[in-house]
Structure 1
Amino acid sequence: MTLEEYNECVRRHADNVYRFILKNIHDEDKAADIVQDAYEKMWRHHKNVDARKGKSYLFSTAYHVLIDFVRREKHSVRMEEADLKDHVHFRQYSDLQEILHKAIEQLPADQKMVLMLRDYEGYAYQEIGEMTGLSESQVKVYIYRARLFLRKYIVKMEVVV
C-alpha cells in the first residue's frame, strides 16, 4: 500500500470506523484514541497491506484494538461507576432503547462486535468474518446467539415494567 492509497483508505473509512468504535464504548475520546491506534498500526504495516483490502484491514485492526481496550478496562473500575452503585433507586420508567443498550452491554465482546457490525453498520457476514478473523459460520452463530439473548432479555416483564 502506498502513501496515497493509505490516505485514501483512511479518508474513505474514517467515519465508519469511528462510528463503529463509538457504538461499542460510548466514549468519544476513547473511541478517537482507539481509531488513532488502528491508523498507526495500519501505517506501520502499510507495505504489507494490499490496497484492495485496506478497508477490511482497517476494521480488523480497529476491532482488535477495541478488544484489547475492553479487556484492559474490564479489570479497572471508574470512581464514577463505583459511586453510582451505592445510589440505587427504582423507577417506573421504561425506554426500550435504554433497555436494549443495557442488554447489548451484557453480551460477550465477540457477540457484541459482530452484532454491531451486522445490525448497526450493515456489513455482510463475509465482510464481518474478514474484519474479525472469524469464519462466516461462526459470525452467523454469534449473531444468532446475541439476538436470542436480546429477545429473551427484552421480553422479561420485570425488565420492561
Structure 2
Amino acid sequence: MKEQFAKPAVAAIIERTIENETYILMQERQKENDLNTNGLIEIAAGKIREYESVFDALKREVYEETGLTVTKILGQEQTEYAVNPIASIMGFTPFYITQNLDGIYSLIVMTFICKGEGELVKNTNETINIHWVNLEEASLLLERSPEKIFPMHLLSLKKYIQYKIKS
C-alpha cells in the first residue's frame, strides 16, 4: 500500500481598517472539481508548491484568489534562516495551524494575518462573492452558522476573533 501524506497549505486572514473598524476578506468556494465544499465561506488559501516558501505561497494564493497584493504578513519579520551543505531552512511562526484529521482533504494549514492592497476581483475559477466583512458580522457567522464555513478555516477564524477582542 502506498503511503499517503498530509499536504501543507497556507491561508490568509486579510485585514483592512475602514473608519476605525476592522474588516476581513471572505469569499465563497466555487471549485470545478470540489462539489462537496462549494458554497462554503472561506478565506484565501491554497497548497504550497515544492520548495516554495510559505510566504511566497501565501502571496501567490491571495493574488490568485482575490487580486490583492500582500503588503504585510504579521510575524514575517521574525523569520530565521539557516543554510548548510545539504539544505536551506526557514523558521517562522504562523498565527494559527490547523490539521484535518478526517473527511475532506488531508491538509495542515498555516494561517497568517495579512494586509493587502489593490482592487478585488469579482470572482475567480475557485471563488465567488469576494467581500469585506466586519468583525461583528464574522463573529455572528461563526456563532450562528459554523457549518457554512470551510472546515479548515473555522478554528483559525474563531481564534482570530478572540485575538482581536482581547487586543
Task: Report if TM-score (shorter chain) is over 0.5.
Answer: no
Tell which structure's C-alpha radius of gyration is larger: 1
Q: Structure 1 or 2: larger strand share?
A: 2
Normalising by the residue count of structure 2, what TM-score does the alignment of the two structures yield? Answer: 0.27
Higher relative helix content: 1
